[in-house]
Structure 1
Amino acid sequence: MRLFDFSLKINGFDINKARLALSKVQAKNDSDLKAYVEKQKKDIISFHLKNNSFYRSFASQVDVNDWSSVPVMTKRHLQQSLEKRLSKGYELKNVYVNKTSGSSGDPFVFAKDKWCHAMTWAEITDRFSWYGIDFNTSKQARFYGIPLDKKGYYKERLKDWFSNRYRFSVFDLSDNAFEKALVKFKTSKFDFINGYTSPIVQFAKFLKRKDNILKDLCPSLKVCIVTSEMLFDDDKALMEKQFGVPIVNEYGASELDLIAFQNTHNEWQVNSETLFLEILDDNDNVLPYGEEGRVVITSLYNKAHPFIRYDIGDIGILSDKSTLRKPILKKLVGRTNDIAVLPSGKKAAGLTFYYITKSVIEDEGNVSEFIIEQSAIDTFKIKYVSREVLSSDKKKVITEAMEQYLEPGISITFKRVDKLDRSKSGKLKQFTSYVD
């Protein structure tokens, strides 16, 4: 029995019809695809202007024939009662409702109509099939957070059972927990690993210390797909070596869909079937391929709730090899709220200097995880988990590297901790600025 498909259908998500619709979009030639995208953009705006009072007041000056007239919406625009944001004919009882993780600092509750959510799952299952994964038959090793309250905990466990997956907690990354995980891999026929990047990296480091290759212990394993957190090249190389399978990078947002997925040619292919992605400058102008800017996305199918020219809060670059059919995300720089502002007025992407510090702090394998916090315009704190306290010489090298990249005169402090605090969802935020 195809239990995963059945669970979608019983909840009102017609996955078979959605897969057929998706395949028809993918079969279009270039000119028909362009016409389809333009029609979907115009149709979704027209629908919400007619049926959604929230969007009508937000986008009162829109000309449906002029895309540049469509205003950019942010998460803060959506931080009001969901009932006020739903379109006519949609109520809480007939839509899919969820909430964002809040990792951007602006959490909110959102909705999708059931057809839109079915198309989301059609897109996800299509991409996973590139690596021979079928959610109905392929067993998943899942590294995600899980609610700690009793009701939420058992609800997720039930969903895991229907989805043919086993969940490993990301809140305990001790060697003891990984030893138990290793036993589970030895005794289960997992087809793929899926989950947050940072705990999976820690599992790979554990395997390296144990001198184990996961594929040797779990021969059924085909691929590891990471999401929600930055994947750095050296971490990817480590995972590929210790897991013995391809490492695939996924980029998505719960309120939208799967946004980009690494294809078998090692390209980060953007979802152009159910979403329309743009890179904009600070004045909301569309940037050409190859230039860095804000990631702004339109959901082409969501009639229950408008996500039209929605600024997701990320900074990225589309490759100059991109086409309408196959946009390629060259780089995801980080989040717009992950910017370090310095005493001189200079700005730096937090994840960029996190990466520079990472190359110094982890070269000996002593430090397993760390984060950087900016508490004042000239003050940074590095919190780290390690077997041994960082030496004075190592701290000096790290401080010099930070000053070289940022600017002289900043204060760098270090704090060793037993474990790093994660969000309620289990995500680890590598850089946080508390400077307003």
Structure 2
Amino acid sequence: MDWFRLSLQLNKFPIQRAQKKLEEVKNIPEAEYEKYQYRQRNLLLDYHIQHNDFYRDFFKWEGFDDWSKVPIMKKSDLQQPLRDRLSSTYTTKSAYVGKTSGSSGHPFIFAKNRFAHALSWAGFQDRYSWYGIDLNTSLQARFYGIPLDFFGNVQERLKDRISLRRRFNIFDLSEQKMESFLERFKKADFNYLNGYTSAILLFAKFLKDREILLKDLCPSLKICIVTSERLFKKDKELIENVLGVPVINEYGASEVGLIAFEDPNHHWIVNSEDLYVEILDANDRILPYGEEGRIVITALYNYAHPMIRYDIGDTGALSTRSTLKKPVLEKLVGRTNDIARLPDGKVVPGLTFYYVTKTIIEDSGNIREFIITQTSLDTFHIDYVSDIKLSEVQKKSIMKAIEMYVGKDLKIGFQKNEVLKRTKSGKLKQFTSLIQ
């Protein structure tokens, strides 16, 4: 039985109609794709101007003749009651309502009309099929968090059961718990893993320490899909080596759905069927292919709630090989708010700290996870999980590298932990600045 399709249909999400629409869009020739995008953008814009008071006020509508003049929406613009942002033609009962994870520091509740939500899922199913994964029949090992309240927990587990997902709760990643993970792989015919990068990486390190190849224990495994957190080349190699299957990058967000997915040729193919993705500079100017800037997204079929030129909070670049129909995400740098500000006025991407410390810390062989927090202009704190403490020599090496790549006269603190604090959704935010 097609459990995935049935579950969507039972919840009144028209998945069959969405799949038909997706195929229609995929069959539009490249030469006509600009016309398709132009038409769909204008239909969406006109709809929200007519039926959405919030968006009409936000746009300050006076007519327009240039898409670049459409205002940019930020997460902070959407942090107000959902009822004030819904189109007049929808209610919270007639639309799909969800909540962002809040890992960016700006959580909010959003809505999608049911067809838009179904179209998002049709896109996921289409991409997964590149690797022989069928959401109706393939069993997923799901490395995610889960609501801890009774109702939310039961509801999520029921959804997992219907959707052929078996959840591996990442709020407990102790070695004892991962031993139980391993037993589950021995007993079930999982077809793929899907989950947060940091959790799957930690499980991979556990397997490496025991010299276990997961595919030997679970021959049905085909791929591993990582999402929500950055995957570094060295980590990808480690995961692939101990799982015995390819590791695939997925880039998405709950409020807009699938943004990009890695194809078998290792290209991140951007979803151009139901999203319109732009790269903008600091002055909201559209950048050409190859240049790095803010990722701004328009959800082309969301008529319940405007997601029009929505700044998702990430920075990246589209490849010069991109076309309108097949954009390729060449670079995904990270969140725009993950930056460190130093006493001399210098601004440094938080990722710089991660690169520096990651290489040195992992040379020790016993550091499993770590996060970095900036507590003041000149002070940073590194929390890590390991079997033994970092030596003074290792700490000095890290501080020397930070001085070289980041800045001088910085105070670096170290703290060994049993576990690291994750967000409510289970993500591990690897760099955080507490400076406003």
CA distance in 2 between counterparts of 1:395 and 1:315 reads: 31
Structure 2 unaligned spans of 5+: none
Match of 2:200 in 1: 200
- Following superposition, the deviation at residue 67 of structure 1 comes to 0.3
Residue-by-residue CA offset, 1:120-150 (whole Å, 9 max, x unaligned): 1111110111111111100000000001111
Match of 1:339 in 2: 339
Match of 1:45 in 2: 45
Match of 2:166 in 1: 166
Compared with structure 1, are the counterparts of its residues 420 and 339 closer, same or farther at alpha carbon in structure 2 (3 Å cutoff)? same
Aligned residues: 436
Residue 333 of structure 1 contacts residue 349 of structure 1 at CA under 8 Å; is this kept in 2? no
1:180-329 map, 5 Å: 180-329=180-329
CA distance in 2 between counterparts of 1:257 and 1:402 reads: 37
1:8-47 map, 5 Å: 8-47=8-47
Match of 1:4 in 2: 4
Structure 1 unaligned spans of 5+: none
Residue-by-residue CA offset, 1:89-131 (whole Å, 9 max, x unaligned): 1001100001000000000000000011111111111011111
1:124-139 map, 5 Å: 124-139=124-139
Residue 249 of structure 2 contacts residue 262 of structure 2 at CA under 8 Å; is this kept in 1? yes
Match of 2:386 in 1: 386
- Name which of structure 1's ranges 379-388 and 359-368 shifts more when overlaid on structure 2: 359-368
Match of 1:88 in 2: 88
CA distance in 2 between counterparts of 1:435 and 1:292 reads: 25
Match of 2:365 in 1: 365
Give the CA RMSD over aligned residues.
0.8
CA distance in 2 between counterparts of 1:414 and 1:353 reads: 14
Match of 1:353 in 2: 353
Compared with structure 1, are the counterparts of its residues 203 and 62 closer, same or farther at alpha carbon in structure 2 (3 Å cutoff)? farther
Match of 2:140 in 1: 140
Match of 1:70 in 2: 70
Name the SS for the 2:425 alignment partner.
coil
CA distance in 1 between counterparts of 2:63 and 2:42 reads: 10
The TM-score normalised by the length of structure 1 is: 0.99
Name the SS for the 1:93 alignment partner.
coil
Match of 1:429 in 2: 429
Residue 15 of structure 2 contacts residue 119 of structure 2 at CA under 8 Å; is this kept in 1? yes
- Following superposition, the deviation at residue 154 of structure 1 comes to 0.9
Residue 319 of structure 1 contacts residue 330 of structure 1 at CA under 8 Å; is this kept in 2? yes
CA distance in 2 between counterparts of 1:355 and 1:124 reads: 31
Residue 45 of structure 1 contacts residue 64 of structure 1 at CA under 8 Å; is this kept in 2? no
CA distance in 2 between counterparts of 1:64 and 1:86 reads: 23
Aligned-pair identity in percent equals 56
* 1:156 matches 2:156: yes
Residue-by-residue CA offset, 1:153-211 (whole Å, 9 max, x unaligned): 11111000000111001111111111111110011000000010001000000000110
CA distance in 1 between counterparts of 2:64 and 2:43 reads: 9
Residue 279 of structure 2 contacts residue 293 of structure 2 at CA under 8 Å; is this kept in 1? yes
The TM-score normalised by the length of structure 2 is: 0.99
CA distance in 2 between counterparts of 1:168 and 1:233 reads: 24
Residue 278 of structure 1 contacts residue 297 of structure 1 at CA under 8 Å; is this kept in 2? yes
Question: Could you tell me which amino acid in structure 2 is paired with residue 429 of structure 1?
Answer: K
Question: Could you tell me which amino acid in structure 2 is paired with residue 42 of structure 1?
Answer: N
Name the SS for the 1:329 alignment partner.
strand
Residue-by-residue CA offset, 1:290-346 (whole Å, 9 max, x unaligned): 111111000000000000000000111111111111111111111111011111111
Question: Could you tell me which amino acid in structure 1 is paired with residue 26 of structure 2?
Answer: Q
- Name which of structure 1's ranges 188-197 and 336-345 shifts more when overlaid on structure 2: 336-345
Residue-by-residue CA offset, 1:354-401 (whole Å, 9 max, x unaligned): 122101111232110000000001110000011001000000000011
Question: Could you tell me which amino acid in structure 2 is paired with residue 363 of structure 1?
Answer: D
Name the SS for the 2:102 alignment partner.
coil
Question: Could you tell me which amino acid in structure 2 is paired with residue 22 of structure 1?
Answer: L
CA distance in 2 between counterparts of 1:43 and 1:308 reads: 12
- Following superposition, the deviation at residue 352 of structure 1 comes to 2.8
Question: Could you tell me which amino acid in structure 1 is paired with residue 373 of structure 2?
Answer: E
